[in-house]
């Protein structure tokens, strides 16, 4: 078991073989850190485009996250948590259903299925959602299972006050609540904020003085540093919002009656691999923060168990004694987890960059479905920055990861992605106002 109290996770095991990954049988057991708590409230707080390694609790050198860092000392922190997709709608589709997005997000719409909100509602919980991203609207069926479902756009401070109100209303109902609050920060546009001037101090010349647009390009290293400073400032603002919400839970007496989960839909990239925002399957985009503060386990701990955001449904249901649906792709994190767990991540919203990832114990294969099919292979254990493509050096490992992918999917990956998108565009199903909001966030031009 890799679970250490109040400190860094123990180092990863060094595997002798790079091919026979399944021979590693180590398991993680987290049931003591996530004890069963029937009737406990559950509150998920998520942030858009929050890069895990941009937080102090994951080793970032700047003071971007004082509230989350303090929260981490009372939470179970996952060091190897990943999204199932690099963009919001497919990531949330998986988190809400416990299924791979290519099974439940078809033609830019969630198919009717049993959701986390429905599971909790059937267990007697009041369920509500406040989602500040136009990608998550009811027109795409993200409202399934929620009694109260509201989407923005709101100013983030408005959302904070609305969340406080919805929590208080839920607490007054006399039954436990399940809530999901999603802040758009630190997603683009990155704005200069006086609150975080120590990270993104005011500029009087050059580009990006007051912030960025929804999409942008950088032409110099100085501009890249500026946009990263602005992003860090947005992270600090998101951390402030979290601190305010957590303080309300504490002051209202709800904190020790509530399982609080903090996560993100995906990360963000800053030319780590030649791109900005979130368009790839590299670590800076798909690795996400995941922290669970459980009232029954107030001592902080860390785990490097391999987890995905679609594990939230079975884990939350298991912790609260709700009925866990059968045949999920996500797993209950309270059950033994093998270090050799195979993970799949899918990029299926950008028809210029359909991609799929097959990863096991840090060995990672990325297949890109362009006109000229391409593959990349990385060993994250020795090359966490994914700088050395091993596709020509270790064909046996690449074949092994490809075979795992073939065993998990019903058809060939690239063909499958094209089939489930059904040729639809992100504008489909949305109103003119919603389309304008997508443009302001940089999702469409």
- H or E element, residue 368: strand 363-368
Instruction: Give the count of alpha carbons within 13 A of 280, CB side only.
Output: 17
For residue 50, what pLDDT is reported?
A: 98
Could you tell me if residue 377 is inside a domain?
no
For residue 274, what pLDDT is reported?
A: 76
User: Distance between terminal CA atoms of the chain?
Assistant: 47
Average pLDDT, the chain: 88
For residue 351, what pLDDT is reported?
A: 73
A 10 A CB-CB count for 187 gives 27
Confidence of residue 5 (pLDDT cuts 50, 70, 90): very low
Lowest-pLDDT range of 110-114, 157-161, 211-215? 211-215
**Highest mean pLDDT: which range of 213-217, 295-299, 304-308, 348-352:** 304-308
For residue 218, what pLDDT is reported?
A: 82
**Phi, psi of 260, deg, nearest 5:** -105, 125
Closest by CA to 44, choosing from 109, 95, 91, 114, is: 95
Domain range for 185 is 31-333
Could you tell me if residue 109 is inside a domain?
yes
Could you tell me if residue 411 is inside a domain?
no
Q: What is the CATH number of the domain that holds 293?
A: 3.40.720.10
Could you tell me if residue 389 is inside a domain?
no
Could you tell me if residue 431 is inside a domain?
no
Q: Rounded to whole angstroms, how far apart are CA atoms 337 and 24?
A: 12
Could you tell me if residue 289 is inside a domain?
yes
Q: What is the mean pLDDT of residues 237-247?
A: 98
Helices marked H in 110-172: 116-122, 156-171
The string of pLDDT tens digits covering residues 166-194 is: 999 999 999 999 999 999 999 989 999 99
Could you tell me if residue 201 is inside a domain?
yes
Could you tell me if residue 420 is inside a domain?
no
Q: What is the mean pLDDT of residues 152-160?
A: 94
Instruction: Indicate whether 162 pLDDT > 50.
Output: yes
Q: Rounded to whole angstroms, how far apart are CA atoms 353 and 110?
A: 21
How many domains in the chain?
Answer: 1
Confidence of residue 217 (pLDDT cuts 50, 70, 90): confident
Q: Rounded to whole angstroms, how far apart are CA atoms 209 and 221?
A: 15
Describe the strand order of the beta sheet including 374-379 as a list of residue ranges.
Answer: 342-347, 355-360, 363-368, 374-379
């Amino acid at each position: 078991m890799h679970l250490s109290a109040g400190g860094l996770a123990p180092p990863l095991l060094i595997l002798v073989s790079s091919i026979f990954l399944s021979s590693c049988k180590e398991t993680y057991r987290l049931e003591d850190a996530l004890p069963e708590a029937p009737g406990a409230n559950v509150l998920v707080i998520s942030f858009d485009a929050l890069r895990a390694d941009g937080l102090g609790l994951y080793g970032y050198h700047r003071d971007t996250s004082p509230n989350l860092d303090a929260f981490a000392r009372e939470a179970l922190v996952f060091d190897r948590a990943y999204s199932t997709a690099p963009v919001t709608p497919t990531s949330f589709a998986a988190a809400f259903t416990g299924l791979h997005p290519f099974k439940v997000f078809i033609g830019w719409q969630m198919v009717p299925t049993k959701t986390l909100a429905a599971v909790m509602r059937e267990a007697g919980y009041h369920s509500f959602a406040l989602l500040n991203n136009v990608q998550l609207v009811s027109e795409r069926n993200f409202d399934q299972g929620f009694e109260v479902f509201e989407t923005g756009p709101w100013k983030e401070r408005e959302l904070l006050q609305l969340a406080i109100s919805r929590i208080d209303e839920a607490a007054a109902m006399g039954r436990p609540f399940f809530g999901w609050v999603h802040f758009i920060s630190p997603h683009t546009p990155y704005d200069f904020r006086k609150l975080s001037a120590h990270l993104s101090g005011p500029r009087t010349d050059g580009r990006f003085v007051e912030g960025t647009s929804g999409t942008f390009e950088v032409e110099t290293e100085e501009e890249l540093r500026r946009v990263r400073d602005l992003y860090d400032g947005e992270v600090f603002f998101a951390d402030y919002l979290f601190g305010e919400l957590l303080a309300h839970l504490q002051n209202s007496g709800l904190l020790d009656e509530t399982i609080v989960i903090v996560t993100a839909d995906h990360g963000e990239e800053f030319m780590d691999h030649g791109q900005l925002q979130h368009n790839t399957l590299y670590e800076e985009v798909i690795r996400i923060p995941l922290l669970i503060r459980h009232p029954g386990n107030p001592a902080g701990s860390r785990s490097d168990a391999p987890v995905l955001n679609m594990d939230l449904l079975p884990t939350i249901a298991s912790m609260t004694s709700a009925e866990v649906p059968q045949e999920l792709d996500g797993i209950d994190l309270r059950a033994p987890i093998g270090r050799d767990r195979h993970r799949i991540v899918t990029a299926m919203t950008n028809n210029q960059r359909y991609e799929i990832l097959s990863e096991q114990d840090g060995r990672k294969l990325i297949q890109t479905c362009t006109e000229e099919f391409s593959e990349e292979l990385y060993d994250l254990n020795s090359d966490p920055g994914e700088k050395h493509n091993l596709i020509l050096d270790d064909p046996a490992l690449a074949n092994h990861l490809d075979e795992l992918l073939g065993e998990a999917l019903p058809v060939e990956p690239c063909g499958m992605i094209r089939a489930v998108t059904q040729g639809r565009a992100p504008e489909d199903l949305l109103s003119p106002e919603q389309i304008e909001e997508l443009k302001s966030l940089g999702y469409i031009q």
